[in-house]
Structure 1
Amino acid sequence: MHTTNRRVSRLVASGLAASALVATTLVAGTSAAIADPGLQDGPEPTTHTQEAYAPEADFTAKWTRADARQLKRLSDPTAASRANSMPAAVTMPTVPQDLPDMSNGEVWVWDTWPLTDEDGNQYSVNGQEIIFSLVADRSLGFDDRHVFAKIGYFYRPAGVPAEDRPENGGWTYGGLVFKEGVTGQIFEDQSFSHQTQWSGSARVYKDGEIKLFFTDVAFYRDETGKNIKPYDPRIALSVGKVHANSKGVKFSGFNKVIDLLQADGTYYQTGAQNEFFNFRDPFTFEDPAHPGETYMVFEGNSAMPRESAKCTEEDLGYQPGDPHAETVEEVNASGATYQIGNIGLAKAKNEDLTEWEFLPPILSANCVTDQTERPQFVFKDGKYYLFTISHRSTFAAGLDGPEGVYGFVGDGIRSDFQPLNDGSGLALGNPTNLNFWGGQPFAPDFNQHPGHFQAYSHYVMPGGLVQSFIDTIGTHDDFVRGGTLAPTVKMDIGVGGDPTRTAVDYSYGNGGLGGWADIPANRHLFTNGKKTVSVSDAAAQRVRAAAGSAFDDYLQGKPVSAAVRAQIEKLLAQYGG
């Protein structure tokens, strides 16, 4: 039974800086952000053309230090203690502390992803919306969850407006996807101390088959928690099938794991080069410019040994003669070389998506940030938007920016990507005061904005909706931990026809905050084992309105009259695509 829905109320954050405007010039196909007089003093961003290259080309775009230093230029240096110093247009509304728990006390929940097709559409199956999440037992401390993470799933009825759902989103926890021991079988060294599952993506097919791409991880630690040898992350695939009806969702399969990719040390850093390397978070898709070809983006690090890594003039990216430029020698001596994140690209070699080959990374962030987590593409108006997430704490020495979503735009999956919003890359950040230290999620700083750690692990959905999970809300003397999904927000992409600009839609939901844990499907798959059809959201509503409860009986294989069966199948054929 639905509980009363308490609409999320927006807490108005004091000290929100007005969004800085930027002029954009287009000269011979080159797009360069020009500093607005309202920006703080600092370097100009790097010039990026957005030009597309072949997916296999040996070209990697750079998120440069000159670009990332625009983040401080956007920040209001006069913002007082506990105020937000960043522009409202790129700031997530403040989330209240009285958060509902979507799992009803069963598990911690963080990184989450929906069922999608090759174009990023989100699906329900037989009237059930389905999501996958990293989960851990609530007997663990919230900050201990990472080495115990498993992939779980949730489901809820599709087509219900957020305001009519229970406050926690109306999800039912279905349990773990894998049986114990399945995901550990691919590791040659079985002496691991912990074996865990990290983020990925899920592709659904018309027969109900699901290809679950994820990060399979083995840790080798002693009793004190120190590494005996570097951990072993691998990009992996498991195949299952979904069985859904009005009573719930179950899976079959997912009893075998295929080892797809391991970091190569040529493009992507390995444990031998750096025991703290990143290699995870596969997201698969088809490139509109190359129909029938399937690609994958993932988080990696540039393949340099940790202790001898160096950054170049191109990584710094300053305009000639810029008085605010750093020297390569200064940057390399600062410790910034420990932060050498990149976004990798791979291409499928067969239709089953069981064989892949590495391509050069599409974006590097050398001497900018160590983490480019959960990368994904959104295709809109002929442009390719590359989104990733990063922590404030993983920015390199001399740089600073909020926790949140960072975005880049180009003309193809391999482009000279231009960072969004004044060249900074910031698309959607937590309320943050860059004038004060952030602290840690378990110990936020006294002077920091209460929303500094409020949300992370964002995923951009169709229509610009963005979901994330709650980490910590509050400051040093009054904070709560999350472990459940945040309210969904909406990000307008290509504001005013400018493909380099995004902005939070504060008219969405209540002051910019939509329903808690709201991850709506925009397409719907119906199958009874014999017939299968995929329809749009509007079409699904029309079929259900016409057929009523008989539609559920039909999907469950229960007896329905010949006339009703004919009506349902006619409607599905009419609206299906």
Structure 2
Amino acid sequence: MTTTRWTRHHLDLITDDPATTAPLITGPVEPALPGFDLWDMWPIQEEDGATALFDGRELWMGLAAPAAGHPEDRHDVARIRKLAYDDGKWIDLGDVFADGETPGSREWSGTAIRRGDGTVSVFYTATGFRGEQRPTFAQRVFEARDGVHEEIARPDLRHFLPADQVDGGPGRILAWRDPAWFRGRLLIAASIPWGERYMGAIALTDGGSGNHPLLVADGINRELERPHIVVRDGLFYLFFCTHRQSFEPADAAPTGLYGFVATALDGPWEPLNGSGLVIGNPRAQPDQAYAWMVLDDLRVVSFLDYRGPVERANFGGTVAPLLRLRLEGHRTWIEPC
């Protein structure tokens, strides 16, 4: 099985193109979850990737934390929250898991699938360890189903670095997180060695420790987050997101949604639009949104991040305006939603 490499040559092909530049987000955006920061959202999906409906409405999950203090501290107390999306409105349904139910000190991103028997599998990242005195950054991938939480995928240390750090912070930690279910396998944001540092990768696994790198950022980026796949017109579209600060060097490319396309899950994968860039934040607000997820109907959800310096006054912490993609082979376009 071939590992695809995302290289500096691809980044050199990025241009200022309206087809891949998100519209500027202006004006106030009403919070979906008043009193809480909300980010990294995903819907409950059917096994074929379609967004599931429950009594005619969509059910979503996302990370949430009280809207207080510096926004970057939210990662240390994140919980998975459930919301309904009905007729354009968000309805808070509370925490997905009870206090102390999960094995980490907090919960990070994942996906959720409605099984054929009607039960829902929640794939998520357990970060740190329950009861620890201060947050650590070990990351483990779990499936929760019918109240049972099972660790289902560990990194193959022949290929990946263990995400077991004690100290860290946003942009300074290894990855084994953001599990996305796809046809019985998982995509996971991972890290592999690169000289004395590390670079981002996407792992493909069928569970256990048998996993390999599907895509690696060949010395150009240290975090390929929230990987997921959409199938369209017989083609497989692999999407992920990353921050401009995660490139080597920083700002070598914009914060955005990136993607590759292939005729089969195992590749080989080719970068969309030549460079891999699918949606980039505009230069005027380079951090305005993050954590894009492309849905089966090509809606694209993200969260409102910073519209200005990294401080509470500029942080959105809620659902950003929806976008929509058009996919035609190796080309993509942003369309009005």
TM-score greater than 0.5 by the shorter chain: yes
Give 1:479 shift.
Answer: 6.5
Q: Which structure 2 segments of 5+ residues have no match? A: 168-172
Alignment match of 1:203 (pick from 113, 124, 140): 113
Instruction: Report the Cα distance in structure 1 between the residues aligned to 2:158 and 2:311, rounded to whole angstroms.
Output: 47
Distance 1:176 1:272, change over 3 A: closer
Shift of 1:272: 6.5
- Structure 1 residues 107-126: aligned runs within 5 Å: 107-126=36-55
Tell me by how many angstroms 1:359 deviates.
2.5
* Superposition misfits of 4+ residues, deviation over 3 angstroms: 219-223, 271-275, 474-479
Q: What does residue 188 of structure 2 align with?
A: 298
Q: CA deviation at 1:114?
A: 0.4
CA shift at 1:258, angstroms?
0.7
2:170 aligns with: none
Kindly indicate whether the alpha-carbon contact (under 8 Å) linking 1:371 and 1:394 is maintained by their aligned counterparts in 2: yes
More strand by share: 2
Q: Which residue of structure 2 lines up, in the alignment, with residue 462 of structure 1?
A: 296
Unaligned runs of 5+ in 1: 1-56, 75-85, 161-168, 188-194, 241-253, 287-293, 311-336, 349-355, 433-448, 509-513, 515-577
2:200 is the counterpart of 1:341: yes
Cα distance change, pair 178–479 in 1 and its aligned pair in 2 (3 A): closer
Alignment of 1:42-191 (within 5 A): 57=1, 59-71=2-14, 74=15, 86-103=16-33, 105-157=34-86, 160=87, 169-184=88-103
State the partner residue of 1:401. 253
CA change 1:136–1:272 in 2 (3 A) is: closer
SS in 2 for 1:484: strand
Offset from partner CA, 1:356-411 (integer Å, 9 cap, x none)? 44221111113110111000111111211110000000001276111110011111
Matched, 1:264 2:207: no
Cα shift at 1:273: 9.0
Report sequence identity in percent: 29
Paired letter, 2:157: G
Which whole-Å CA distance do the structure 1 matches of 2:242 and 2:204 have between them?
A: 18
Q: Secondary structure at the match of 1:122?
A: coil
Q: TM-score with structure 2 length normalisation?
A: 0.91
Sort the Cα spacing of 1:418 and 1:399 in 2 relative to 1 into closer, same or farther, 3 A.
Answer: farther
Greater fraction of residues in helix: 1
Change over 3 Å in CA distance of 1:484–1:383 after alignment to 2? same
2:39 maps to a residue whose letter is: W
The aligned residue for residue 534 of structure 1 is none
Structure whose alpha-carbon radius of gyration is higher: 1
The verdict on how the C-alpha distance between 1:259 and 1:428 changes in structure 2, with shifts beyond 3 A counting, is: same
Counting matched residue pairs gives: 332
Deviation of 1:128 (Å): 2.8
Q: Is the 8 A contact 1:156 1:172 kept in 2?
A: yes
CA RMSD of aligned residues (A): 2.5
Equivalent-residue separation in structure 2 for 1:386 and 1:178 (angstroms): 29
The Cα of 1:472 is off from its aligned counterpart by 1.3
Letter in 2 for 1:343: I
Shift of 1:222: 9.9
In structure 2, the residue matched to 1:410 is 262
Residues 478 and 152 of structure 1, relative CA distance in 2, 3 Å threshold? closer
